[in-house]
Structure 1
Amino acid sequence: MIHILGNFYHWRTVALLSLFPYIIFLVIIFTWPESPAWLVSRKEFEKSKKAFYWLREHSEEAEKELYELIRAQKDKPADINNSSFNEKVVQFLKKFTRKGFVKLIVIIMFSGLLLETCGRHIFPAYALQIIGEVTGDKSQSFHYTLALDIIITTSAIFSSVLVKICKRRTLLFVSGFCALFILFSVCTYLYLVSKAIISNNYTWIPISLFVLYFILANLGCTPIPLALLGEVLPLAYRGSGSAVAGLVMSLIMVVALQITPYLLESVKVYGTFTVFGSAMGLSLVTGFILYYPRQKTELCRRLKIISITEDLGTRKS
């Protein structure tokens, strides 16, 4: 919709129109109950139960999770919630000395790097310039961009289904490494075209490769890093971890968006995507080694132990 509106209206008009969905969403958010974890931290257990079941409905798994949430809070020393502001700041900074917290931040950092370097925000922002350079015909770049938008949106919707039925680790790394291979292939092709080694009459080849790349990238590299944010942060780290995660991911997005125009100008499309592809490959390799263990149940078990032990203010497990 933004690409369509941007083709007919000034960007300030588009920005103004974009405010209305945010206003609607804000009104909807005001109808939501408070976070169960926040209510538990304030010892409002009955309200927390109502909010929790409103979100998750009644099930055996939900009841166990709620029980652990409330038990951890009830066992927490009373003086933790009554700490002064300075003491809370010190407690927050001390978390950076804990291996568990630092590892989670590293996971989130590379997840954010993967999310941005796969083109989550970069391509929509500079689609017309990228497609115009690839095809060599800026008059048709708008139509190519719309076609790619439809394909990307469809694959993103389809990924919501795949995330539910496939193992996330398998989906992430299979689609991620395949997408990376396609990306480097199209970069190589565009480089050879720029050096007149290959004819530039076959524009359907790079466009088709880009279509395949964005389909694969949107199947795993886009949804799973976002899903990780809701899974890897236990209650003990949720507030501080979310704050740091928001800062880190926002910085990565801003840096990626700011350097893209300079890369497109200096090293063209093939160089730009080579740079981002290299960072994407680094994120995937790091993720393969570091995060997302083979067994999700093992991840949840260890994070639950971290959450309970940190809430109890002890290093014992």
Structure 2
Amino acid sequence: MHQNNALSSSLRNPRNKNLICNVLSTTTKCRKNLPQILAVCVKNVMLIGFGMTLGFPTVLIGGLEDSKVDFQMTHEQLSWIGAINLIFVPLGCLVSGPYCDKFGRKKAMQMANIPLALVWLLFRYSSSPWHLYLALSVIGILLGLIEAPVVTYVSEVTTPNLRGILFSTSTLFTILGTLCSFFLGSIYYWRSVAQIAFLVPLISINLLFLIPESPHWLIKMNRFDDAQKSLAWLRGWVTKEDIHQEYATLNAFIHNNPTSESKPTSCFNYTSPSFLKPYFLISVVFFLRHFSGITNIQTYAVEIFQHLHAPMDKYNATTFMGVFELLGCITCVCLIRRLGKRKLTFFTMGCSIIALSTIPIYSYGSLGKDRNWIPMSGLFAYCFFQHCSLRTLPWILIGEVYTPQTRSIASGISAATGYFFGFFANKLFYGLVNELTLNGVFIMYMLVLFFGGCVLYVIMPETEGKSLEEICEYFANSRNDKNSVDGERIERNNNNNKEIKEYKGSHKDLYATNKETVDSDKDNDDNITYNKVKARRTDSSDDYIQSLNRLAANDSGPSYKRFESLNLNDI
């Protein structure tokens, strides 16, 4: 009895109550977030395998140059090994969207792993250059084929609070796969590396059976019961009743929203500023990424370290380079929300120019071989800073800057453009070295970074922390003089406030019902959403209730109470 009284007294203590509430809240949040993290991590196992394909040409080129038992290849043939996979990526991108919609996100990823496993076997038992070319061409198609499943799966299974961080892990795990190729290449012969890599897609296929299909895709396929089970799994292994509200909102959005991606799109969407301006921005970023050297240095790292007389084995140096690339991606994940994309990008581009300058300074300064650690360290620093921004930036922007009507196709077009740039950058590398020397090529990279950075400073807005609606409206506006979407948001908010005042004059009865709450709430974004719902006054009550349900699913606070106060009889 005494113990029960003590326990009851302890629970009545306000401090203990707050502590218990905090613990329960944290536990609930962790349970809701954990399934999403697990689903994305399982997907990322597949990206480790595809990341290994990006690092394998580096191992292959170095191994063939040193080989005395395998077939010999000229520099011209080796340049195709570094580039041929990239030229075939756009072919995969063209069919990626329909392929993803036909088979589903999860099954599309599983099916892509099957030919990948066969490709590793082709590498292992290849006996002529055309075997290598065939394997690399298939890899290029597969890289393009997984673009849509990977991007859409993450966006459709995660909640907004986790979406940005989990998106950035895709690049992180891809670089991890590249690092695995470098590490294995420093220990084993390239045929043995291919034999080990064969296991990764097999593991990925089996792990993908453990996670659910995207609920968005299941709803589009009218598999409503499976969609509810998937959503319940992703929201913390809860029951269908617990996710009923979110499921109803999602179902209504997919089938009734006029801007849903399932709706047909017009060719005009791809000639409007809302597509052309972000496409130009992403193309510039891709151009800077590939022609500022990061693609060439990663592909031909073994040869470059040998030319620079690195004070360690060239394969070990390549592995260390992969470690710095991975650290750069981790730094990007940690800093991008704190600093924003613009500050992080321009700071790291400046640091990259300084790091690259150490190589020609060392060479032209005749500092001696006892200081050959200087250019190697400069190259490590360059890879670190490039992976803090330019390596990941275009993929982040692709998911933000396009409208829902063009996002899927525009993503494929942008990815194809990026891989075209990568192909030409790798294919031209040996020719540029012959004409300019390696030091001259590094100076060219510095100039590309400097002048490209000036262009990027003018055309790239700050999108971090902004909603997709604000970003899309910024690019849709034909006259943008600011480097942030804030100016567009302020102008839009002012226009909406003006419309609210006009509406007040013409619909006094309805506005008077909500006058007190509107005046007390100064949040412009609430006013915008409030105004949009009021604009539905000519619609049917069913449409209005549907909008109200969507708002209720996202906000149960004061802004929702304002909508709740609207009288259906006044609509």
Structure 2 length-normalised TM: 0.43
The alignment status of 1:74 with 2:270, answered yes or no, reads no
Specify every segment of 5 or more residues in structure 2 that has no aligned partner in the other structure, as ranges: 1-179, 237-244, 477-571
Q: CA deviation at 1:290?
A: 0.9
Matches within 5 A, 1:242-257: 242-257=411-426
Aligned counterpart, 1:102 = 276
Q: CA deviation at 1:36?
A: 5.6
The alpha-carbon distance between structure 1 residues 199 and 241, as it changes in their structure 2 partners (threshold 3 A), is same
Retained in 2: the 8 A contact 1:134–1:203? yes
The alpha-carbon distance between structure 1 residues 32 and 270, as it changes in their structure 2 partners (threshold 3 A), is farther
The alpha-carbon distance between structure 1 residues 70 and 248, as it changes in their structure 2 partners (threshold 3 A), is farther
The alignment status of 1:6 with 2:194, answered yes or no, reads no
The alpha-carbon distance between structure 1 residues 208 and 295, as it changes in their structure 2 partners (threshold 3 A), is closer
Deviations 1:50-109 (A, max 9, x none): 76786688xxxxx99x9699558524299x84x6xxxx7xx3x43331111111211221
Aligned counterpart, 2:315 = 142
SS at match of 2:393: helix
Retained in 2: the 8 A contact 1:155–1:218? yes
Specify every segment of 5 or more residues in structure 1 that has no aligned partner in the other structure, as ranges: 58-62, 308-317
- Counterpart code for 1:244: I
Retained in 2: the 8 A contact 1:160–1:223? no
Aligned counterpart, 1:288 = 457
SS at match of 2:287: helix
Deviations 1:171-221 (A, max 9, x none): 1111122212332x224314515xx5x545421222222232222222222
Aligned counterpart, 2:355 = 182
Q: CA deviation at 1:6?
A: 2.5
SS at match of 2:405: helix
Deviates more, 1:247-256 or 1:159-168: 159-168
Percent identity (aligned): 19
Retained in 1: the 8 A contact 2:341–2:463? no
Give me the CA root mean square deviation.
3.9
The alpha-carbon distance between structure 1 residues 110 and 268, as it changes in their structure 2 partners (threshold 3 A), is same
The alignment status of 1:211 with 2:380, answered yes or no, reads yes
The alpha-carbon distance between structure 1 residues 267 and 237, as it changes in their structure 2 partners (threshold 3 A), is same
Match of 2:341 among 147, 154, 168: 168
Aligned counterpart, 1:269 = 438
- Counterpart code for 1:156: C
- Counterpart code for 2:300: Y
- Quick one: distance in 2 between partners of 1:114 and 1:52? 40
Deviations 1:246-284 (A, max 9, x none): 211221222222222333444333222233333333443
Q: CA deviation at 1:10?
A: 4.0
Deviations 1:8-29 (A, max 9, x none): 5443443343343234334444
- Quick one: distance in 1 between partners of 2:434 and 2:460? 35
Match of 2:364 among 154, 167, 192: 192
SS at match of 2:462: coil
The alpha-carbon distance between structure 1 residues 306 and 276, as it changes in their structure 2 partners (threshold 3 A), is closer
- Quick one: distance in 1 between partners of 2:463 and 2:471? 13
- Counterpart code for 2:346: F
- Quick one: distance in 1 between partners of 2:227 and 2:316? 50
SS at match of 1:303: helix
Retained in 2: the 8 A contact 1:176–1:284? yes
- Quick one: distance in 1 between partners of 2:295 and 2:251? 35
Matches within 5 A, 1:81-120: 81=263, 91=266, 93-120=267-294
Aligned counterpart, 1:279 = 448
SS at match of 1:236: coil
